[in-house]
A and B are shown apart, each in its own frame.
Chain A
Amino acid sequence: DGGITQSPKYLFRKEGQNVTLSCEQNLNHDAMYWYRQDPGQGLRLIYYSQIVNDFQKGDIAEGYSVSREKKESFPLTVTSAQKNPTAFYLCASSMQGSQETQYFGPGTRLLVL
């Protein structure tokens, strides 16, 4: 089955720790995205990538980093600089072009210990 997988489903972070969220897609999509979802705030774009080895900051990139070494993979690292990381993180992918549908993974919930 084609789709997007995210792992883990739940992730716990200690103070001062970096954590990495995985996102993999087998839809052969060029573009991939990371969103953060908080109650009452909708989805906010963290980073996006339109092609391998290239990515751009979204609206709330501070405290996050990404890489795009393979077309299928777009991992997100939540660094210790992100002071309020507790949220639901969603990964998406699409063909290139803003008229294209974005397909979403099931999400990762990050909690701070």
Chain B
Amino acid sequence: AQSVTQPDIHITVSEGASLELRCNYSYGATPYLFWYVQSPGQGLQLLLKYFSGDTLVQGIKGFEAEFKRSQSSFNLRKPSVHWSDAAEYFCAVGAGSSGDKLTFGTGTRLAVRP
């Protein structure tokens, strides 16, 4: 079965600084990888996803992520963080062998200093 690890529970960055959120997955074949964002008390919104092709994926709100098979990673990056990016971020993995199910990481909460 697939699994996802987000090693950072909480991260604080200054507004305008760069951001990288880590995600490591475990799966034998090429996985389908997703990053979602959740504002407090709200549902989740898709930022970006990878399932084939170019390993650098562009998403909404200026985010990007890079799939690195050798490191089993799919880290999320943003060159300059805005105060409105403060939220919780979830990495998820899907696999053809599991039907339509996704497995989510435990999330990373991002705080932004003015």
Contact = CB atoms under 8 A, between A and B. Distances in A.
Most chain A CB within 10 A, of B34, B51, B99, B101, is at: B101
A86 interface: no
A80 interface: no
Interface string A79-90: 000000000101
A41 B101 contact: no
B57 interface: no
Contacts of A88: 41
Given A4-B43, A104-B43, 20 more contacts: A33-B100, A40-B107, A42-B106, A42-B107, A43-B90, A56-B99, A90-B43, A90-B44, A92-B43, A94-B100, A97-B100, A98-B94, A98-B95, A98-B99, A99-B32, A102-B102, A103-B46, A106-B42, A106-B43, A107-B41
